[in-house]
Structures are given as structure tokens and as C-alpha cells.
Amino acid sequence: MRSSTETRTETWQGAAADLRHLLRFRSHGVRRPRVAAVAVTVLVAVTILMAVAPAWLTIEETGMSGDRARLLDDVLPAAFAGFLLLGIGASMGGGGGRELLPREQAVIHPIGPVTEHLGALVLAPLNLAWLLQAWTLFAFSALVVGPHGLVGAQVVVLLWLFVATALAQVVGWSVEGIRRTHHGVVIVRCATGAIGLALLVGQVAGQLDDLTHALPTAALADSLGEPQWPLVAALLVGLLVLAVALGAVPARWALRLPPREELRVESGVHEARPSPVARLLGEDLALLRRLDRGSVWRSVGMRRGLIVLGLGPALVALGTGLPWDTVLILPGLGASGAALLFGINAWCLDGRGMLWRESLPVAATRTFDARALVVAECLIVVSAVPVVVGSIRNGLPTQQVAISLTACWLVVVVQVLAIAMSWSVRRPYAVDLRSPRATPAPHAAMFGYALKLSLVTTLTGMLFVGSSGVDVWWLPLAMAAPFLVWSSVRLFRARRRWLSAPARAEIALTVAAG
Amino acid sequence: MTPVIDIRDLHVRFGEVEAVAGINLAAGSGRATALLGRNGAGKSTTMKVLAGVVPPTTGSVLVAGHDVAQDPLAVKRAVGYCPDVGGLVPRATPWEHLQLTARLRRMTEWEARGHDLLEKFELGDVAHRVVGGFSHGMSRRLSVVLAALHEPSVLLLDEPFDGVDPIGVEATLEVVADARARGACILLSTHLRDLALEACGSAIVLRGGSSVAEMPAAELTSEAYRALLD
């Protein structure tokens, strides 16, 4: 009989079995399984709806500009490529991809890099951006193809989603590997900056359209609804197998190397500054806020996330010259993304130190206010950058747009802050955010949070888009008032719950248990 | 003499679980008391109640004359608490921890004592590094430093020796001795009977959320302790 501790090379079969066990283990931790089951059913239903229903619509009925040829030649190839780029961005930002188990829990288990790689692939769709893009691709494809040949077309689209995710994972692991080498962080930052700049210059110079036509995704779009789709599907299956297998190579390499960026933060010297002088809100609050700010900006994952969320949409706004009605949607999405970095479980910044923090002689109101201020700062910064950069390209907005934009920005920031702080006091989690692969809540919960936040902020943004088109200056302000009142009430309720000693103790014990 | 810590019929429930089921305890100034017992006996929960972190479900708890249920902020000012797990904000440095604890207790001229304590616990070299990279033992040592910085009238040390090297243990014993000498009340929770006896004059054994024995530490032999645990 083989010993259970005998050293064995990780096989694909073994990795798949380990993945199954780990996913089952994680699924047992879902706090509300019925809600999760309903959510999965709804998501599958919406996906089927998006993949089928548009086939019976005409382009005119959707209100889109252009015709079928434009969708096929321009929009779909770019959308296919955009999905791949989004996947690359997500896997790069996430340090290779999401982790199956938090690092502290995983260290006692013999989880190999191939299992980690497969886990990151399986968990990649638990990302709202992934799902929204997938729905868009399904809907566009159905619209272009129509009822005849729809099944074949959607099989090709589905396979592309998998292939793009697997290819993105190859890039993500490779970048993480480079990042973990000597000077790797600098190399990755320079390369990312150069590529971003090149794309920006290409877009401004009008060269990206030619590039879109030359992409292999143009051939993919051409095959939709055509008789040769089985051949394309077979090619994609081959590519998928190759990409999944290839991804294991950089995953093994990257996960063997020490996480240099995190280690640098942990071993770096941070000379303490003198205690802050009395300010408007008091010295205690200023010091607490400084400590909380440090907890955010000294985390590799959060820092990277805030930069990407701020600069990514800003570059798109600058490069493509997004119209003001689209820019109006960006603050809400940016604020939602920033909240998902830590705000939805804001007390997790303290980690196991929360018990100590709670033993300090400071009013609970001060602790809440400091944390809410730090969350608000992150939301404001991330949501402001695309708006400011967008104005560079678009010039100053009209008075009506400016009022709508300001009102919308204020509303979504307060809205997201209230929602995030409310979730933080009601559903705290014990998490360690040292790794950029870590998330502030379990994956299923994160997906639900992302869905709710994006839906709420996008709908709010669309209302203000409407107000920007009506020449009544006070309308956006009047619309903002009820939103602000409701969000303030919600924030006040969250604060009141925090002030209850038993509720606070429960939060502290939960968060410190990590 | 009025006890500095006075617990009467303390019950703490977390949902269906009763973590503490009727503890009575009194401890005076200038004394160190060991709180002993198996895992889940209620030691850490009792400590958290005394630190003002967890409110009692029922019962009366007075710390330095303040009711923990009525005035937790005054309790927190009087207490120095080393929690049983972690106890440190992962991305802050030891100096930033000291700065916060000193600031919130309105301490002035605390830097020299902070430096001394860090040096005593061999943490001087890492005073400006984030604690996320610390070993378990280093984190425990820093937690004791934070509890002792303001020379509290009540010192609560929950598992201060857990994973700590001999130099750290020695420094912790010294902190306990200093606190006793200046008249503080010390409650020290641990699994390690020998160290508890070295640090404390009396011992209280908890079992199943209740106190089952209180005696001078010297009388708590290995056999007697074992018999009380079973």
C-alpha cells in the first residue's frame, strides 16, 4: 500500500479530483444555500434568454445604430477581443487568478499548482464583468445570426468564452511569474504602461479600427451562423485544451517563486509620522483614519485594484472619447468596483487585530466614522478619475450635463458607501487580504454583491443620463435629494447597529477569527 | 479591600452556545491571578468581557470600579489587554500600534517607554515594519508590549506565552512582576501551568464555562490540576 505522504508528481487527473473536493468543501461554507441555488437558476435563465431572445429582434427594434454588417465587421470582432483583454486584466490584477482556499487555510493541504490553475479557471466566471461581457456577446451574436443557425453560433460563442478565459489565465500566470522575479514588478509596470499608452495613441490616431479588422476574432465573427461552424467549434475545442494545458506551465513557475511584491511590503520600513494635529473632526479620528488608510494602501491587492479601477476606465474614456451620457455611468461602476475591493467587508482591514482595536478606549462612533471615511475616500478617488479624464477629451460639459454629472457622482458615492457599510456590519467575514488573489468575502457572496451594486448604480446613472438631456437645471438636484436621503438613512442605520455592543462584539469575534 | 476585578454570576451566550456559565471571580490590586482550564473552558471569553470587547449576557462585572455593561469606555481606559489570537492590525507597524494606543489614552512622553519595551521584547529592530510579516511569537510579544505600555491598573494577558521563545517569556514575566510591584491587578490566562505558577500568586481553574477551584498557586500541583480538568 502506498503511503499517503509519499511524494507524487501532480497529475491532471489528481488535480481534477482535488479541485472537485475543494469546490465541494467551499460549497458547504455557503451561508444561505437556498438563496445561492435561486441565484444560480436565475443566472442560467438570464443567460439562455440573452442567447436566444435577440434572434427574433431586428437591429432597428433594439434601438442600435448601424446594420447587421457593421455589427459583424466592427462590433463583434472587437467585442470578442475585448472579452479576452478583460480576462487578461482580471487574471493579472488578481495575481494569477482567484484562490480556491484562502492562503492561510490552504497551507496545510497538499494543493498543487495545477489544481490552483484549474481552480482559477473555474472561478473566473464568478466575476460580474465576465458575465456581463458574456451576455453581451451572446446577445450580439443572436441579433446578427437570427433564428437560423443560432445553436451553432452560440456553441462557437460559448467555446470562445472558455478559450479566452483559458488564454487570459496563461497570460495572468506568466505575468505573475515575471512579477515574482528580480525587478519583475518594474518590468510588469513598464510593459503594462507601454501597452496602455500604445493602445491609447493607436485609438486617438484612428489606427485601432484597422487592427480590429486584422484580428483573428474577425474570422470567428464571420463563422457565426455559417455551415462551417462545427469546424470552428472543433478548432476552438483544440485551442481550449491547449490553453488549459499551457496555463499549467506558468502556474507551476509562478507559484514556486516567492510573492516578491507582498514580501517587500511586509519587510519594508515605514517610518511612523508624528501624531496628526487637531483637525476639524478631532485628533483621534485623524489617527484612526491614517491607520485605516495605511491598511488599504499597504495591501498589494487593494492598491493594484484601486489603480486599475481608476486608470482603466479613464484610459478608455480618453482613448475612445466616450460621450458624456456614457461617462455618467462610469462613477457608479467605479465606486462599485472600489467597494468590492474591501468596502463590502470594511472591518476586514483590521483582520485579527480587531479584538485589540475594540479594546482601545475610543468611542464606537469614531471607529465607524474613520472606517466610513476611508471607504468613501477610495470610492471618491476611483469614481472621479474617469470623469476628470473624460473631460480632457470631451471638453467642458454643458451646464445641464455638469449638474447631472455632479449630482450623479455624489448620489452613487453615498449610495455605494451606505450599501457597503450596511453589508459590513450585517455580514462580516474573516479574511486575510495579504494576497492579491484574496477577496473580502467568499466567491459566491462577492458575485451577489457585485451584481447588486452594479445594478443599483447603473440604474441610478441611467436616470441621471435622462436628466442630462432635459433642459431643466434643477431636475438632477431634485432627483438626487431622495437618493441622498435614503442612502443617509441606510448609513445611519448601519452606524446605529455598529453602536450596539453585542452586534459590535459579534463583528469583532467574526473578523478576528480569520 | 474592594476587588479590582469583581465578577458575579457571569453568563455569556453566543446564540445557542453558552461560552461562560456562571463564573464568580474576584481579584485585588497588587496580585497576579492565573486563569487555567482546558480549551473551551471560557477563559478567553471571560477575558474579552473584562476588556470591554464582549458584553456580558447576564451577571455583574466590575473592572476598576466600572461596570463593563454600563461604561465599557472607562473599563478600556483602565485595562491593558493582550488578546488570545493575533491582536494586531496586519498592515500597521509596531510603532503605529503604540502611537494609537498612547494617543487614545492621552499619554504624553510615551516614546521612551515604548522604545524600552520594544527593546526588552527584542522588537526594536522591527519597530517600523508591518506586523503582517511577523512570526507568531513576535506578534505575541508585541501584544504584551501594547497591553503594558500605559501601565494599566488592570493587566489582562490571554495566552501571552503561546509560541513565545524563552527571552520573550522572561520579558513577559518581568512585565507581570513590574505590574504587581506598582499595585496593578493582573489576570493571566494560559494552558501552561508551570509558567502560570511562576508568574502568579493564586490560580482559578475553569471548566465548562464555570469556575471549579480557586487556590494559592503553590497548592496547584500537577496532579491536582489534572484532577480538576477531568
pLDDT(A64) > 70: no
- The interface predicted TM-score of the complex, written ipTM, equals 0.91
Residue B80 bridge partners (DSSP): B155
Q: d(Cα A349, Cα A50) in Å, to the nearest integer?
A: 38
Query: Helix/strand/coil (H, E, C) string of chain B?
Result: CCCCEEEEEEEEEECCEEEEEEEEEEECCCCEEEEEECCCCCHHHHHHHHCCCCCCCEEEEEECCEECCCCHHHHHHHEEEECCCCCCCCCCCHHHHHHHHHHHCCCCCCHHHHHHHHHHCCCHHHCCECHHHCCHHHHHHHHHHHHHCCCCCEEEEECCCCCCCHHHHHHHHHHHHHHHHCCCEEEEECCCHHHHHHHCCEEEEEECCEEEEEEEHHHCCHHHHHHHHC
State whether B85 and A513 contact (CB < 8 Å). Answer: yes
Residue A447 three-state SS: helix
Q: d(Cα A436, Cα A416) in Å, to the nearest integer?
A: 23
pTM (2 d.p.): 0.87
Q: d(Cα A381, Cα A297) in Å, to the nearest integer?
A: 13
* Sign of the CA dihedral running A80, A81, A83, A84: positive
State whether B55 and A299 contact (CB < 8 Å). Answer: no
The model's pLDDT over B147-206, given as tens digits with 9 standing for 90+, comes to 999 999 999 999 999 889 999 999 999 999 999 999 999 999 988 888 888 889 999 999
State whether A352 and B81 contact (CB < 8 Å). Answer: no
Chain B: closest CA distance from residue A412 (Å): 29
pLDDT of residue A501: 94
- A65 falls in which pLDDT band (50, 70, 90)? low
A265 contacts in chain B (CB < 8 Å)? 91, 130, 132
The model's pLDDT over B30-40, given as tens digits with 9 standing for 90+, comes to 999 999 988 88
What number of C-beta contacts closer than 8 Å exist between A and B? Answer: 128
The model's pLDDT over B96-117, given as tens digits with 9 standing for 90+, comes to 999 999 999 999 889 999 999 9
pLDDT(A500) > 80: yes
Contact A452, A42 (CB under 8 A): no
A contact test, residue of B71, B91, B109, B150 with most A CBs within 10 A = B91
Q: What is the mean pLDDT of chain B?
A: 91
| Residues in chain B whose Cβ is within 8 Å of chain A | 14, 48, 51-55, 69, 72-74, 76-77, 79, 81, 83, 85-93, 95-97, 99-101, 103-105, 128-133, 143, 146
State whether B89 and A509 contact (CB < 8 Å). Answer: no
pLDDT-above-90 percentage for chain A: 49
Contact B55, B68 (CB under 8 A): yes
pLDDT of residue A421: 97
Q: d(Cα B74, Cα B13) in Å, to the nearest integer?
A: 24
Chain B: closest CA distance from residue A183 (Å): 21
State whether B130 and A298 contact (CB < 8 Å). Answer: yes
Instruction: Provide CB contacts within 8 A for A494, sequence distance 6+.
Output: A368, A418, A421, A422, A424, A425, A426
Contact B173, B203 (CB under 8 A): no
A299 contacts in chain B (CB < 8 Å)? 91
Question: Which of A90-99, A272-281, B41-50, B82-91 has the weakest average pLDDT?
Answer: A272-281
pLDDT of residue B12: 93
State whether B128 and A350 contact (CB < 8 Å). Answer: no
